[in-house]
Structure 1
Amino acid sequence: MIPKIIHYCWFGEKPLPQEAIKCIESWKKYCPDYEIIQWNESNYNLEKNEFVKAAYKSKKWAFLTDYVRLDVIYQYGGIYLDTDVELLKPLDSLLTYQAYMGMEQIGRVATGLGFGAVKGHVFVLENKKFYEEKDVVNEDGSIKQITCVTITTELLKKYGLRDDSQVQKICDVTIFPPEYFCPMTMGTRKIKSTANTYSIHHYASSWKSENRIIRELKYRLIPIKQFIRKYVLHNFE
């Protein structure tokens, strides 16, 4: 079983914002017997590999966290949550899986929504090895800003991930559709929770400098781009 540990990351040595504190309180409310571990400069090896060093040096906290969350879940097992994830109910029923992840949109798996796995899970290892073995650092020492959604989704598609709203099992990872961990549509900020919804990812994106409206407009374009690639461009091949 997945151990009762909630991991989260907070790099940059700034105080947690009120929204994050509120979300963490929801973890304590619905998972009162879980150990909660914050990973930061004091307890994580920032010399672990070239990607970690480059991401930290350039203060790309979100990209650093993309790797760290995989690394700590692989080492210790447990559940990872972004600091802008609010729980709506207990996570105990998810502990029986070997691993689970959720889609933020149909066909797009995002580990930042919250995911869990047993210690040493093979797919978590493969996911984190992308950062360790691929060319993810530029010659000038900056990181190549490939989103974790793109990396994880492409790896799972290689094993048969489908673009549909059904619960799927890929590489011993149970993949849940958006209603489970992402009932908020970032482009509209409307929340459509159901009886299946465990949590809400609020997309605080405190690490980004661009205006929230601009971020949300970009997000709305994702399904349009997916449609063009899948149906329009395919017809010209």
Structure 2
Amino acid sequence: MISKKLHFIWVGDESKRPNNCIDTWVRRHPGWDIRIWGNEDLASTEWINARHMRDMSSKELNGVADMMRWEILYNEGGIVLDADSLCTRPLPEWMLESEAFACWENELERPMLIAAGYVGSVPENPFFGQIILDIQAKATVTDDMAWKTVGPMALSEAYYKHKYSGLTIYPSHFFIPEHFSGARYEGPGPVFAQQEWGSTRRAYDELHLKTFE
């Protein structure tokens, strides 16, 4: 089973870290282990892809977080969540029963693309280990946008290339009921989170100042 650990990653300006968003997860998951990975962890941890992280840090910090995400999942297990997401209801026990899970970004707007912001795994999962190695083997990760080279597209391409059958992929509305394109889920199914799209909408200057229940 996936352990009851929630990981959040925030590198860069710590004064803008959206603790208000993270707190919505903390409040709804009493007894779970919560860890926020930050600048000190980035600097002090022996990351396999430290070279690429250094190169990416001056371009897209969200790409640095994506590379940290895969190594945290492999080393620690648990669930890594986007720091700019809001929890709307507690994660159910049955969601922990798979060896790994993720969700689609949006089945209509981005078909076949797996989101990188809501991913859970047992420790030492060989699939996430392979993603780390695939990124390591790249000559550069800054020749295109981070979501393509180390984020959702990299995750999706690895899934199809390596044919990893152990990944449970949930509907997008579980975690992303509203896509940045404006597409909204209107069905009766469960919604566990809401994505604020901080990087996409460049909203981090204001996001940490908002009040959420």
Shorter-chain TM-score range = 0.7 to 0.9
Q: Secondary structure at the match of 2:98?
A: coil
Structure 2 counterpart of 1:76, one-letter code? E
Shift of 1:155: 1.7
Q: Label 1:21 to 1:175 Cα distance change in 2 as closer, same or farther (>3 A).
A: same
SS state at 1:171 partner: coil
Q: Relative to structure 1, is the Cα distance of residues 122 and 179 closer, same or farther in structure 2, using a 3 angstrom cutoff?
A: same
SS across alignment from 1:71: helix
> 3-state DSSP class of the match of 2:14?
coil
TM-score, length-scaled by structure 2: 0.80
Partner Cα distance (1:143, 1:38) in 2:
29
* CA pair 143-79 structure 1, distance change in 2 beyond 3 A: same
Larger radius of gyration: 1
What SS does the aligned partner of 2:104 have?
strand
Q: Out of 121, 127, 149, which is 2:125 matched to?
A: 121
CA drift of 1:40 comes to 1.3
Of 103-112 and 188-197, more deviation after overlay is shown by: 188-197
TM-score, L = length of structure 1: 0.72
Calculate the aligned-residue CA RMSD, in Å: 2.3
- Is 2:10 the partner of 1:10? yes
The structure 2 residue matched to 1:186, chosen from 164, 180, 183, is 180
- Relative contact order (C-alpha < 8 Å, sep 6+): which is higher? 2
2:34 counterpart residue number: 36
Question: Superposed, which structure 2 residues align to 1:63-212 within 5 Å?
Answer: 63-91=63-91, 92-106=93-107, 107-112=112-117, 114-137=118-141, 142=142, 144-147=144-147, 148-159=151-162, 170-188=164-182, 190=184, 192=186, 194-205=188-199, 208=202
Q: Which runs of 5+ in 1 are unaligned?
A: 161-169, 210-237
Q: Does the CA-based 8 Å contact 1:46-1:52 persist in structure 2?
A: no
Count of residue pairs brought into register by the alignment: 192
> CA 1:190–1:181 in structure 2 vs 1: closer, same or farther (change >3 Å)?
same
- Identify if the C-alpha distance between structure 1 residues 34 and 193 changes in structure 2 by more than 3 Å, giving closer, same or farther: farther
CA contact (8 A) 2:2 2:78 kept: yes
Structure 1 counterpart SS, 2:159: helix
In 2, the alpha carbon distance for the partners of 1:135 and 1:102 equals 29
Q: Unpaired segments of 5 or more residues in structure 2?
A: 204-213
The residue type paired with residue 70 of structure 1 is W
Deviation of the 1:191 alpha carbon = 5.0
Distance 1:193 1:7 in 2: 29
Query: 2:26 is aligned with what amino acid?
Result: K
Task: Quote the residue 2:51 is aligned against.
Answer: 50
